[in-house]
Amino acid sequence: MKRWGDLPQDAADHLSAGAVLDQAEMAVVVTDRFSNLLYWNPFAEKLFGHSGPPGSPEPRGLTPSLMEADHPLAVEAAKQVLKGGVWEGTFEVKRGDGTMIYVRAQAVPLRHSSGAVTGIVITAREAMRSNEREKDRFGLLERIGERLAGSLYVEETLKRVAEMLVPQFADHCFIELMEGERLTRRVSTHVQGWNPPPDTWAPLGAEIRYPAGHYADTALRRQETVLVEDFARTSYPSPSEGSTRLAAEVGLTSAIVAPLCVRGETLGLMYLGLSNLTDRRSPHYDTFDRDFVGAIATRVALAVDNALLFEEERHTAESFQKYLLPRALPQLDGLEIAVRYYPAAPLASHGQGIQTQVGGDWYDVIPLSAGRVGIVIGDVEGRGAKAAAVMGQLRAALRAFAQDDKPPAEILARLDEWTRIIATPEQDDSGEDISVPPIVTCQYLVYDAWSRELSFANAGHAPPLLLADGTCVELDIKEVGQPLGVRAKGVHADLVYKEETRTLPPGASLLLYTDGLVDRRPLRDSGSHPLSDEENLALLCDKLVECSGGSVERIADAATVAVPGEIDDDMAILVVRSSAADLEVEERTFAAQPIMVSEARRMAAEAFTGWNVPEERAELACLLVSEVVTNVVLHAANSGVPRRDLVMDGGALDFDESWDLPGFEDEDEGEAAAEKEFTLRIRRGRESVWVEVFDQDLRLPRIRSAGENDEGGRGLYLVDQLARRWGSRPTQEGKAVWFEIPTRSR
């Protein structure tokens, strides 16, 4: 060496840039402007998990190693550096073995001799593993808080905690939560590839009892973070002999126990331990680590508390929804039914905070007269408890309206009025009512399995899908009315909702659904663009055609997963299928004369015999047939004369009640009585028979209270006492009285 600073040639060779970087205990990575890797040193390979020669096509910058949530952060950092700036921050890195660590990185521009920025130079090291721990602490706590804030469920939150702490900060991590008065182990995570043997450390789900004087018991009682810097210098009582033996085998060196406290309540404990299972620069925790873990525990406690509150809210919402929807579907003749309901995913990913999953979608299946059935699908706009409460009121109201057996259009008209009634009362400054009714789409259908007639009315809801003969198409609906609650003032509801009728083919299926089925959001990071509702509907139809020959349960399952993406709104599905075989029915029309009562009974007896109805049940049904038919004949004889127009030559004369036309009334009454008829219809079901009697009298029957000496007035009382159900409904020509008799003995 000739002068100070001059080095021998062999020493200079060892101080080349590559040689120095190969020895550096810091990752050095160089990329071009397009994030292609140009260089990394051996420590970078160890830290990030890269392998292979520089410039290989597989890795692109740090992106493959970064956790998914940090990809946008890396993009923003690259943009800033390529503009000539300097970026520094904390990344989450996933190693090749699946473990996750936090890395503190700095990125600076790589400049050409001309001054142009040609790439990025990144230096990185494991956070909290240098003399800059105080500086690293704030960035690391921020990242940990962000990671925990994105968790909605307790198990997911605890899993994230374990990923954050093992192996970067601990070889062993236990988390125990309070369940009433019990402390239960919920997390037991250890360094990669190692698990405690049986009968040593307590397993998941076990109740944990720390003895008095144990450092964990001290942390729990005092609600403060406790540090055991070196187990070789201290002695504590052990929970069990197996625990003591295993701690000696793995060489447990140091531990920190932090209570999980939030809002004055202790939720549990977080235990971190170091052992000889890993080769660390320092196998012991210090006071700085204790304070840092205590700060982490505060964030963990808050995240766990939020997750517990959310799960409680979710459970309440799901229970609320469960009891608002039908708990069990009725068994109906000539109809197979399958239903599905799925709540929407929480909206946290939308940046709208945690919201309840409950919504306003509903379905219903309502048994009506003589085996007919009402089918309902509806959707209240919005989500949350308010939408569900409105849905519950509308469902209850519609079930009540349906029992009147009115036409579907009339049912929707009444439901529209009810939607306005339940609107939250609001007034403006002048006291005027400005209540805004909820917006509800709804479709109500009535299906008769014996005639296969389907009548329906629609209030702004998506048409059902009809699966028949290997095709899937929307049910042809001519009149789609406005949603409930939006009808303009002055327009009567009867003008808005129109009834239509179709005949359902044998073995055909109908799929009724709410818009959550086709309105999906793409899966995160799927790279796919959102499809339109029309494209989703076409995709749904294709999938349904493939399984149209299967059961209704299979169709419902196929519909649920036919459209890709996450459920953006709650979703209700109802699938019904008509019977492939015709159901048995007997029908005959009689003159409304007393002598025909016995004929009607004879017809019923022959039908019951042919259907092998048990004799006891058949006799009871025949008795009630006699009572109902007798009631119809008696009222037909006593009913008033239909009003007729009297036309004379020279024009119509003004009617005067004092006019007396001898013989006119008697003659017309006889003709009217002779013209009156009734129809007896008997339907056979799997477990019941239904009897219907139709006549032209508009008066609906009612039960009378007959006196001891009255000769009549007990017919409907007998029907009410002996039939399973009975009722009456208006028809276009008059009315129908019906009753149901089970074919099995009680």
Answer positive or negative: Cα dihedral of 333, 334, 336, 339: negative
Residue 526 confidence (pLDDT) above 80: no
- The CATH class, in words, for 585-637+675-742 is alpha beta
What was the pLDDT predicted at 49? 65
Please check the confidence at residue 425 and state whether its pLDDT lies above 80.
Answer: no
At 198, list the tokens. Answer: 């049986």
CA atoms of 605 and 620, how far apart (whole Å): 10
Strand partners, 445: 375, 456
Residues of the chain with CATH 3.30.565.10: 585-637+675-742
User: In the chain, where does the domain assigned CATH 3.30.450.40 lie?
Assistant: 133-315
Query: What is the architecture, at CATH level 2, of domain 327-425+436-487+495-521+531-578?
Result: 4-Layer Sandwich (3.60)
Q: How far apart are CA 90 and CA 106, in angstroms?
A: 9
CB half-sphere exposure, 483, CA atoms < 13 A: 14
The angle at the Cα of 701, spanning 697 to 705, to the nearest 5 degrees, equals 140
Q: How confident is the model at residue 3 (pLDDT cuts 50, 70, 90)?
A: low
Q: Using CB atoms within 10 A of its CB, is residue 95 exposed (0-12), middle (13-18) or buried (19+)?
A: middle
- pTM comes to 0.67
pLDDT for residue 444 is more than 90: yes
Rounded to whole angstroms, the Cα distance separating 554 from 561 reads 11
Name the token pair of 159: 């899993």
Q: Which residue spans of the chain are classified as CATH 3.30.450.20?
A: 18-127
Q: Is the peptide bond before 167 cis (omega within 30 degrees of 0)?
A: yes
Lowest average pLDDT, out of 421-430, 475-484, 558-567, 713-722, goes to: 421-430
Q: How far apart are CA 294 and CA 309, in angstroms?
A: 22
445: closest CA among 402, 395, 492?
A: 402
pLDDT digits (tens, 9 = 90+) for 594-628: 999 999 999 999 999 999 999 999 999 999 999 99
Tens-digit pLDDT profile for residues 493-516: 677 899 999 999 999 999 999 988
Domain 18-127, what fold? Answer: Beta-Lactamase (3.30.450)
Q: Using one digit for the tens of pLDDT, what is the confidence trace for 17-76?
A: 777 787 787 888 888 888 888 888 888 887 776 555 444 444 444 555 676 666 777 888
Measure the CA–CA gap between 3 and 236, rounded to whole angstroms.
Answer: 62
* Architecture in CATH for domain 133-315: 2-Layer Sandwich (3.30)
Measured CA to CA, the distance from residue 79 to residue 86 in angstroms comes to 10
Position 637 scores a pLDDT of: 65
